[in-house]
Chains A and B, each alone.
Chain A
Amino acid sequence: MEGSEKMTALEPTTYGAVPEEAAGLDIHDHTDVSDYKTIGSPFVDNPKMSARNVNVYYADKHAIMDVSLDIGENEVIAMIGPSGCGKSTFLRSLNRMNDIIPICRVDGDIKLDGEDIYGTGQDTVLLRARVGMVFQKPNPFPKSIYENVAYGPKIHGLAHNKAEMDEIVEQSLRRASLWDEVKDVLDKPGTGLSGGQQQRLCIARAIAVSPEVILMDEPCSALDPIATARIEELIDELKERFTIAIVTHSMQQAARVSQRTAYFHLGKLIEVGETKQIFTMPSHELTENYITGRFG
């Protein structure tokens, strides 16, 4: 089969599991959403990132259909929806992480501070420093805790000497609420930490390069409830400095951490609004069915 060779490029990588849509999983939902228009207001007054009429294709598969959505400065926006709805694909298109999937094509405008991130001459390395990402499974480098955090600042030349680097490492670990637990073992391997600590290490690594936006793709799905609560607490603190977009399968988590929630279904952005409104009085039947656990 022609497609099978391409599929091997879609194996889970260190960049996290590939979105279900890309992996060609069968989605047992045949709702016709082609005529649906987004309910609610996808636009905000102070957008950090803005997506307009974004379409994403995996070869012939139309994974994201005409999605327009703003991500406001210093807000936490949660993206929810059933498997294969396109939420991870959309998240990954925000820092061009989809570029690593060869069959993937992105149409439409995505801007960061008004600047087209898919424009010619855009350096994806610099883009991903400004728009960092935290994945589902903690993926620290097989290096020491210190080096995990120092890696980004080093390749971006953010520190001029050892003292400055120490400062960046400490501050990043403090902001990720990990400093107190690791300050005496900075030379130990990052992979030796617990799952929750590893995930906070990955968050420290992401914020070490002073990004403006942090994308989180189900950051707590591999963690226990206590580690999850710590990450959620952290997200709340991080939103003072960063803009955060989070994809989660846990509706309670979306309700707890975000100010706005976007509901995706079969590649369409169905509804977006204040998180409180979405969880108490959603306007669209599909949103209601999903968050209340009804079949579609």
Chain B
Amino acid sequence: MSENALTRTDTAASGSGRIIALIALAAALIALPFVVQALGQPALVPLATRVLIYAIAAASLNLALGFGGMVSFGHAAFFGIGGYAVGILYRTMMDDALFLGFIPGTDQLLITLPAAILVAGLFACIIGALSLRTAGVQFIMITLAFAQMLFFLFVSLKAYGGDDGMTIRRRNALFDLNTRDDVTFYFICLAIAALVFLVLWRIVGSRFGMVLAGIRQNERRMAAIGIAPYRYKLAAFVISGMGAGLAGALMANYLRFVSPDMLHWTKSGELMIMVILGGVGTLLGPLLGAAALVILETVLTSWTEHWQLVLGPILLLVVLFTQGGLNGLLNRLGLGRSAP
């Protein structure tokens, strides 16, 4: 893990090269749908959308994992809960019923997203409050345990499709936009992703973020100067869970489908791998990691049915020979300023 993440973000933030790089990245992401359509590859727009959604989830996980030092192996639970919030609200609306007897259904993105964030945050609060009583590998396993319980819960919920999942016939509505259109939905996700990254950047740079980094480096020292680590860690965990829930809600809209697959432990692993691949404890690392993993999988599966035999060694080489993931690799190749 990058022990110097704190200093790195500080020094990097002051570089003007970093600002130019960020503007270039933003311009590239905005131009992307138009470029790929001009190139006759319109399917790359949904691919990029998927990358953005995973980037939101991975970046949120990174707040707990990289900045807070809490290795959560259960973030798929929050991702899935966000997805099911959208699915259940949609289903409730279609059935013209009340969920739990008092919550009416809806398909308005402006309601479903906050609802997903709220519910995921609530679950993160409960799970985090209990899990944070442990640390180290026990923390990894207890977060996994809670996620598995929720996984089995959704598998056995027949009303919401159980293991087969639930189709959401129409994407949620946002004003008069045609959310079914790939480019429109891409820009919705891009705007939300930008917002999430901005919020995370502010959090990491704030006093709260400093304390969190301090706790990660030496919990006892922080406790000694009168800071209660538990509360800070819990707050970071909840925010992290909320971000994952938001990503899950977007994913449900993107797929027009939710299934317990979203809560499976392999999904938690996948999110973790995106973070590690990109660079733990760095702001844009998760975006890099999500892009790398999703694009690699897509390219390799279309290339060979034995894609795992190619992906495996690539991941292995990244861990063994790049300290700090892709972000670290780019830094050492002298591209540090272009990839903060």
A-B interaction: no
Q: Which residues of B contact A (CB under 8 A)?
A: none
Q: Which residues of A contact B (CB under 8 A)?
A: none
